Chains A and B, each alone.
Chain A
């Protein structure tokens, strides 16, 4: 069954990587996402920004079903997210996620972090998985740390490992949830460099970030969220130079002061 599904998807190339239609979500009584409509095209890079509590993290967590939405539909790579466990697992295999807190597995070496899912989910042999892992560790420029444990690495190195770990699964979409917010300032650029390189290779990306330099350089589209709504979206050029909405203007003036 699952394989049939896969073939179907590979054959008919879908235009939209992610489609969200009228998505609503509540945490108990708190309305976090209000009528979200969002399309992310294949190979498109979308940056989501907004004040804290605006629902931007929740939005991308819904895309890989770390959060359930209560109303509306979310389509990822042509498959609708519902309560069907097989569906969810299938989607998660194709969607990579990088977290603010890295979330590397502390009891495994860097290499084991990168090979675990390949072997368990993709059923690769250890040798194959390690070859792939080393390839991506080289790409994020830390192959020499492969035998170390995450606790022995700096924050920036850990985040690069986390990116490599996701890439090992060969995802079609990468989600970034404030990947540089927990980092010391001098380590931010090493992570952003990796993300830029990834973007230039044509990866479909949705990034929640406040790194406006990154947004300007990489994003096809910047989305501004406030109080659970998408308030404004535009090309980075237009978004930063001519913000239309008052709330966007206020937000930008606040974060660009520094």
Chain B
């Protein structure tokens, strides 16, 4: 037995480790220098295009022809189209507030304090009610604006939120159903999931928008937007269910048995023991599905909705702006990035939080 515990050797200083990994041989030095120069050039051109040589205001638009940089005038002039689509101009404030309310609802439901059935229900019902009141109007002297004229960012956020809200509980039910001990239920749910996974999203949206009106009785049809959202949600749930099922599958059987021997009933075991662990197990895949869904909302343009990408196309679709589609797409890309990046960071935070005590 050794008597003394020796201190750990000091960590390699940063400079040393850089020299070791990047400049350890003449060839290494060459590769490092060449790559660094290329990177700097690329970065310089990007900054130059976006900031140094760019034109910023609508009035300066005539200068765009001479300028070597980006022509942000198009954003200055057309940002309302991008953000609001076909929504009536005087009512844009309604769309803005509705959008903020919906984002606030999403953000709030990400905060652990809200994680109880009651709080979440209250939160989402209030959020959707305010959103609907503002967007649709018809009360408190607000003029009625039907969903066909909703558009831009508000529509994108709304579709994403609604699909997640309907899709998530559905996916949990499907995942549990597929693992049911009753073979009939397990088979049927399996068939349902595989059926919707094998269809392209486009087909589902088309069916929901165009074909279901012929099949459903009038009172069940609802607005086209809601049919599309339900179709989208089923598609989302089919994929998400498989993610959750993977998480459930990874839980050792002993966990459920321990719950049983403590006298917990099925619902208690599912909500307190299985689902929390399943979410932890497959969190990366679950977040991934949300990210994909956020970006796939742009597909609804095909059935005639002007979500943010379609509104963007409309922004450069007329007259003098037709040449500036790159700026518009970069701008929209930035908006997508903000949302998707926040989602990924939130996923990383959750992973860290849920890993507590798992070494």
Contacts and interface: CB of A to CB of B under 8 A. Distances in A.
Contacts of A103: 252, 254-255, 257-258
Interface stretch (A17-25, A70-78, A113-121): A113-121
B276 interface: yes
A13 interface: no
A148 B357 contact: yes
Interface in A66-109: 66, 89, 92-93, 95-97, 99, 101, 103-107, 109
Contacts of A64: 260-261
Nearest to B269: A120
Interface stretch (A129-137, A149-157, A185-193): A149-157
A91 to B, nearest CB: 9
B262 A121 contact: yes
B262 A92 contact: yes
Given A107-B354, A150-B357, A89 B265 contact: yes
B268 A120 contact: yes
Contacts of A101: 252, 254
A162 B261 CA distance: 12
Interface residues of A, number: 30
A49 interface: no
Contacts of A120: 264, 268, 272
Contacts of A165: 262
Contacts of B359: 151-152
A116 B252 CA distance: 19
Contacts of A159: none
B262 A169 contact: yes
A107 B276 contact: yes
A166 interface: yes
B261 A166 contact: yes
A48 to B, nearest CB: 17
A54 B257 CA distance: 21
Contacts of B268: 120-121
B358 A151 contact: yes
Contacts of A95: 261
Given A106-B358, A120-B272, A93 B252 contact: no
B254 A99 contact: yes
A95 B257 CA distance: 13
Interface of A: 64-66, 89, 92-93, 95-97, 99, 101, 103-107, 109, 116-117, 120-121, 148-152, 162, 165-166, 169
7 contacts: A64-B261, A66-B257, A92-B261, A99-B254, A104-B258, A120-B268, A121-B268
Interface of B: 252, 254-255, 257-258, 260-265, 268, 272-273, 276-277, 280, 354, 356-359
Closest 3 CB pairs of A and B: A149-B357, A117-B262, A103-B258
